[in-house]
Structure 1
C-alpha cells in the first residue's frame, strides 16, 4: 500500500492494493480500532461538515477506513447520509487533485507520488472523450497554464453524463459551444466534472450488502451514526429558495398560484407551509398570493403567520407525500420521488436536490426579486427624471413664447 492509495482510496488501483495485501475486512473491523474510528470519523465529518476530515498519519489506516466508512453508510442506509458522504469524498478528492495539479514541477521531485491529470482521466475512461484544445492534455499543468484556465473539448455524451446533475443555465447543452460532437469547457469546468465523476464512483453500489459478521461488529458504530443523523434537523436549516429545485408537487402548486388559479384550502396550506419551512418570510409569501382570486392580505397574512407558529403554538410542517397523494396534490411524480426519497416528504426531495448542487452555483430566488425591484425602481426614477425634464423644457418654451 502506497501513500497515493490512501490519498485516493476510491481509485481502482487502491482497491487492488487492498486485495493484493490480503486484507480481511471482517478481521479489520474486529481487531483494528484505529481503522474503525477513522471510518466513523469520515462519515461524521461528511454528515456535519461536508468533508472527510484530516487524513490519518498512517497510510494503511487511512486507506482501510474508506471501505469501513462505506460499510457504515450502508448499514445506516439513509439517503441523506449516502448523498452527503459521497459528496464529501468527492469534495476531498477535488481539493487533493487540484493541489496535485497546481505545481507539477515541485511534485515531480517530491518523494510522495501525486496524481496527474492523465491518470485521473484514465481512471474514468475519459482519456479519449476529453482533450485539450491547444494540444495534448499533458500533466496537471494542463488545467491551468501561465495563470490562465485552459480549454478542453468533451464528447457530448460524456458531457451530458457528468453534467446531468449540475445546476445552472451555463451547464445546459443548448448554452454550450458545440462542434463536431464535442462541448467546449474551461479548466475549472473540467475540475467540476471530474468531481462529479468521483461522486458517482463513491456512490456506486451504495448501500452495500454487508455480511452479518461485519454488520454485528459495527452495530454500535452504526447506531451512533443513526442517532447523530436523527439529532440533525437537516430540513430546518434550509434557507435557500430555488424554485427549479422544488419537488414536482410544489412546483405545480406554485405555478397555479402565480397563474392566478383558485386553490383549495389543503393546497394553499401545502404550498404555504412548504415556503415557510424553506425560509421565506410572511411578507414574501403574501406577495406571491396577491395574484390569487379573492386575495385578502389580512386573511392571507394571518394564515401564514399561523402556519409558521407566529400566532399559534404549533409550527406546521408541509404534508408528507402520503397526505399530498390523498388530497390529490401529488402531481408529476418523478424518479427522485420514487427511488431517492421513497415518497417520504417534499422537504426531503428539496433537500436532496440542494445537496446535489454546488452551493456556490445556487442563486436564491429572492435575490433575483430584489434585483428586479431595484431595476424597477431605477426605471421609475429614470422615467420620473425624463418627465421632469420634459416639463422644464415645456415651461422654458412657454416663457420664450
Structure 2
C-alpha cells in the first residue's frame, strides 16, 4: 500500500491493497490500532465539518505507518457510519469523502509536472476518468466548441483544456438541476449527444461520482452487540453524543435577515446580483434557511428576486426539511472558510463556530425583532386587495 491508495481509498487499487495486506479489520479494532482512532475522527469530521481531513493536517502523511493507518481507517469508518443507523449520516459522510477527494484532485492537477517526480504521488485527470469508467464518456473540447475530430482545444501556453464534452447519459446521472439553472440540460450546449462542461464543472460532476461510490453498500447490515460492532460500540456512542450536542432541538423560527451571519448575507447579495451560486454555496444557504425554520415555499418567496430558481430551491429544501435531513446543522464556519464562503468578518468565529449558532445568539441578544414572514404576508395581502 502506498500514499496514493490512502489518499484515494475508494479507488479500486486501494481496495486491492487492503485485500492483499491480509489484515483483519476485527483484529485491528480489537487491538485499538491507530486506524481505529483515525476512522472515528474521519466520521466525526465528516458529519460535523464536511471534511475527512485530519485535524492534525492534510494527507498525505510522511511515514508509511501513517499511510497504513490512513488507508485502513476508510473501511473502518464505513463500518462506524453503518452502525450509526442513520441515512443522513451516510449521505453526509459520502458527501464529505467526495468533497475532500476532489479538493485533493484539484491540488494534484495544480502540481507542476516538474514537481511530480519529487512530490507525493498524484493523480491525473485521465486517471480519475478511468477509475469511474468515464474515459470514453469525457473528452477535451475540440476546436470550434463542438464535438469533432479536430485537434483538442487547450488554454494558452499549452495548459490543460479549459472545457470538456461529456456524454449526456453520464451527465444526467452525475449532475442535478438543483445545483442551479445552468445545470439543466435545456440550458447547456448540447451536440452529438454530448454536453459541454468547464473544467471546474467536470470536477463537480466527478465529486458526485465519488459520493456515489462511497455510498455504495452503505449501511452495512451488522448485528449490534456482536463481533466488530461490539468492539466499536464505545466509538459509536461517542459519535452519537457529539451529534446530539451539535444537533438543534428545533428551528430558531424567526427570519430576521439583518441578523444573518455575514457569510449568508454575502451569498444572498451575490444571488441578488444575478450571479450563480456554486453547489457548495447553494447548499450552505439552503441548509441555513431551512435550519432557521423556513418552509420550502418561504425560501422560494425569500429568494424570488435572485439567481436561484424555484425548482432547484424546492429540490434542496424539501430534502433538507425532511425528517431525515434536519438532523445535522449546515457546515461549520471552518468548512465554509475552506470553500471560500466564510471570511470571518469581524472575527465572528469567536462568537460561534457555525452559522446557525451565530444567528441563534444574535436573535437571543436582540431587543426587538421584525420577522420577514410577517412583512411578506402583509405584502401578499396588500397585493391581493
TM norm structure 1: 0.59
Matched, 1:7 2:7: yes
Instruction: Give the one of 193, 196, 199 matched to 2:205.
Output: 193
Q: For residue 294 of structure 1, what is the aligned residue in structure 2?
A: none
Matched, 1:153 2:161: no
Q: For residue 231 of structure 1, what is the aligned residue in structure 2?
A: 245
Q: For residue 45 of structure 1, what is the aligned residue in structure 2?
A: 45
Change (3 A) 1:143 1:350: farther
Instruction: Give the one of 184, 190, 194 matched to 1:178.
Output: 190
Partner of 1:119: helix, strand, or coil? helix
Which residues in structure 2 correspond to 1:214-229 (within 5 Å)?
Answer: 214-229=228-243
Q: Quote how far apart the aligned CAs of 1:349 are.
A: 4.6
Q: For residue 84 of structure 2, what is the aligned residue in structure 1?
A: 76
Change (3 A) 1:277 1:2: closer
- Structure number with greater CO (CA < 8 Å, separation at least 6) is 2
Contact 1:144–1:187, Cα closer than 8 Å, also in 2: no
CA RMSD, Structure 1 to Structure 2 (Å): 4.0
Runs of at least 5 residues in structure 2 that lack an aligned partner in the other structure: 148-152, 257-288, 303-314, 342-371, 377-385
Q: Quote how far apart the aligned CAs of 1:108 are.
A: 3.2
Q: Quote how far apart the aligned CAs of 1:106 are.
A: 3.0
Distance 1:143 1:38 in 2: 41
Q: For residue 307 of structure 1, what is the aligned residue in structure 2?
A: none
Change (3 A) 1:116 1:143: farther
Instruction: Give the one of 227, 247, 250 matched to 1:213.
Output: 227
Q: Quote how far apart the aligned CAs of 1:239 are.
A: 9.6
More helix by percentage: 1
Instruction: Give the one of 133, 141, 160 matched to 2:141.
Output: 133
Contact 1:101–1:143, Cα closer than 8 Å, also in 2: no
TM norm structure 2: 0.61
Distance 2:42 2:88 in 1: 15
Q: Quote how far apart the aligned CAs of 1:35 are.
A: 1.0
Instruction: Give the one of 81, 103, 112 matched to 2:120.
Output: 112
Partner of 1:184: helix, strand, or coil? strand
Runs of at least 5 residues in structure 1 that lack an aligned partner in the other structure: 137-141, 242-274, 289-333, 363-368, 374-401
Distance 1:202 1:144 in 2: 33
Partner of 2:179: helix, strand, or coil? coil
Tell me the alpha carbon deviations over residues 96-121 of structure 1, each in whole angstroms, 9 at most, x when there is no partner.
Answer: 11111112413432253211111100
Matched, 1:65 2:80: no
Structure 1 stretch 203-212 or stretch 36-45: which is displaced more? 203-212
Q: For residue 93 of structure 1, what is the aligned residue in structure 2?
A: 101
Contact 2:45–2:53, Cα closer than 8 Å, also in 1: yes
Change (3 A) 1:41 1:361: closer
Change (3 A) 1:87 1:239: farther
Q: For residue 268 of structure 1, what is the aligned residue in structure 2?
A: none
Change (3 A) 1:63 1:9: same
Distance 2:327 2:188 in 1: 28
Contact 2:48–2:243, Cα closer than 8 Å, also in 1: no
Contact 2:108–2:124, Cα closer than 8 Å, also in 1: yes
